[in-house]
Structure 1
Amino acid sequence: MKAARRPEVRLPALEAYAGGELEPDGDYDGLEFREEDFVGQDGGGARFMDCALTGCALDETRLHRARLLDSVLTGIRGVGTDLAEATLRDVELVEARLGGVQAHGSVWERVLVRGGKIDYLNLREARLKDVVFEDCVLVEPDFGGARLERVEFVGCAVKGADLSGVTLVDVDLRGAAVVEIARGVERLSGAVISTAQLMDLAPVLAGEMGIRVEG
């Protein structure tokens, strides 16, 4: 089992964002976005490099194919944020409150998700490598068709996960507080679970294998 490589983000001295709406294909370098309201705005294809986003509202914000690099996102919130086909590399996502995030086809590399709660995270066909979910709550995350390599779940609750068609390589679930799999339990090959988690998953595994348990 190869451990995930965590991001080591060291932000330079940042310049305060001057305000205004996000721009498609915009280039944002070394900026601090604090309590900005980006609701419904279009930053598709934009690049965020060495940035800090703190307490920003991202409801229905379009960040399709955006690139977030060497950045820290703290306390962001929003419903329906569009991160489809986006790239997150060397990113820390801290205490986020998000729902219905569309991140299908996205690429995550050296990403730490710490604290907070994300409902209905769509990671279908995504590629995750060296990603750590720590002390957070994931409600009905969809990993359908995704590839997860060196991904760790530490102290977090994973509820109603969809693993249909997923590929797992060196995925460590042992540290998760809760692991509930709604679909795709047969795709757990490539993951490591604890003895207690195996007992919790036994009914689902038995059902998948067609085993009837009585008495």
Structure 2
Amino acid sequence: MNTFMTAKEYLMSILKIEQPKLPADMPPLVLKEERMEPEDSFHTGIISQCDIDNQRAYKVAFDKIIFRNVTFSRISMKEIELTDVIFEKCDLSNVDFGTATIHRTEFRDCKIMGMNLSDATIRNTGFYNCLGDYLTLRMANLKQVLFHQCSLIGADFYEATVQKIALEDCKLDQAQLSGVKLEGIDLSTNSFARLGVNVENLRGCIISREQAAVFANLIGLQLKD
């Protein structure tokens, strides 16, 4: 690894993650207070220091948007489209973004506890230093996705399709990975005491020596000193 690169930068380069493509100058953008309508779209701007509350709409699109210190409350935006978007220090706890399409997006220092991304299609996306306990990614399709220094306790990846993803220095205790093919995925830097996994999907998974006891217990082996 290049000594001048951080672990995050190194993994981003290995995964070939494309970062959000944003213009140098972005104007403030104020959302109207009335209810969003299906297929509304919002383009190029910074939305900051506000609450987005009690919104239910399908196929809302955000393109080239920075959300900064925004709290999302009572939000259901199924099939939302996020392209070239950054969420910075936002609270998205329990939002429903089921069946979302997410591309070139970053979640930085965000609360995403209980966030629903079931059946989402996620590409070129990073979750960095996020509190994401009980995040739901059931049956999602993830490619070129990095979770770095996130708390993902109890997160649900059930039967997610994964390709070129990395989990680095995350808390994964009690995460549900059943039905996820873990071949080539490095779990060695993550912490957990229990995981929900299928034994047949562990082939090729990379773990640390300390984690070996957890996986041995899963298949009924007893380790002897």
Kept in 1, the 8 Å contact 2:105–2:124? The answer is yes
Letter matched to residue 15 of structure 2:
A
The aligned residue for residue 202 of structure 2 is 188
Letter matched to residue 92 of structure 1:
E
Letter matched to residue 26 of structure 1:
D
Q: List structure 1 segments (4+ residues) > 4 angstroms apart after TM superposition.
A: 212-215
For residues 132 and 104 of structure 2, the distance between their equivalents in structure 1, rounded to whole angstroms, comes to 19
Which region of structure 1 is more displaced relative to structure 2, 87-96 or 167-176? 167-176
Which region of structure 1 is more displaced relative to structure 2, 86-95 or 158-167? 158-167
For residues 142 and 212 of structure 2, the distance between their equivalents in structure 1, rounded to whole angstroms, comes to 24
Letter matched to residue 19 of structure 2:
E
The aligned residue for residue 182 of structure 2 is 168
For residues 15 and 32 of structure 1, the distance between their equivalents in structure 2, rounded to whole angstroms, comes to 6
- List aligned pairs for 1:105-120, cutoff 5 A: 105-120=119-134
Kept in 2, the 8 Å contact 1:5–1:131? The answer is no
Counting aligned pairs with the same residue, the percent is 22
TM-score by length of 2: 0.84
Deviations 1:87-144 (A, max 9, x none): 1111111001122111110011111111121120110100111111112211211010
1:59 aligns with 2:39: no
Letter matched to residue 49 of structure 2:
E
The aligned residue for residue 207 of structure 1 is 217
Letter matched to residue 219 of structure 2:
M
Of 65, 69, 78, the match for 2:92: 78
1:143 aligns with 2:153: no
Structure 2, unaligned runs of 5 or more: 1-12
Kept in 1, the 8 Å contact 2:179–2:198? The answer is no
Which region of structure 1 is more displaced relative to structure 2, 39-48 or 118-127? 39-48
Kept in 2, the 8 Å contact 1:22–1:38? The answer is no
State how many pairs are aligned: 210
For residues 108 and 62 of structure 1, the distance between their equivalents in structure 2, rounded to whole angstroms, comes to 18
The aligned residue for residue 8 of structure 1 is 19
CA change 1:169–1:5 in 2 (3 A) is farther
Structure 1, unaligned runs of 5 or more: none
Kept in 2, the 8 Å contact 1:88–1:107? The answer is yes
Letter matched to residue 88 of structure 2:
T
Kept in 1, the 8 Å contact 2:20–2:106? The answer is yes
Letter matched to residue 86 of structure 2:
V
For residues 141 and 126 of structure 2, the distance between their equivalents in structure 1, rounded to whole angstroms, comes to 15
The aligned residue for residue 17 of structure 1 is 29
For residues 183 and 103 of structure 2, the distance between their equivalents in structure 1, rounded to whole angstroms, comes to 19
TM-score by length of 1: 0.87
Which region of structure 1 is more displaced relative to structure 2, 165-174 or 88-97? 165-174
For residues 33 and 93 of structure 1, the distance between their equivalents in structure 2, rounded to whole angstroms, comes to 14
Superposed displacement of residue 45, structure 1: 0.6
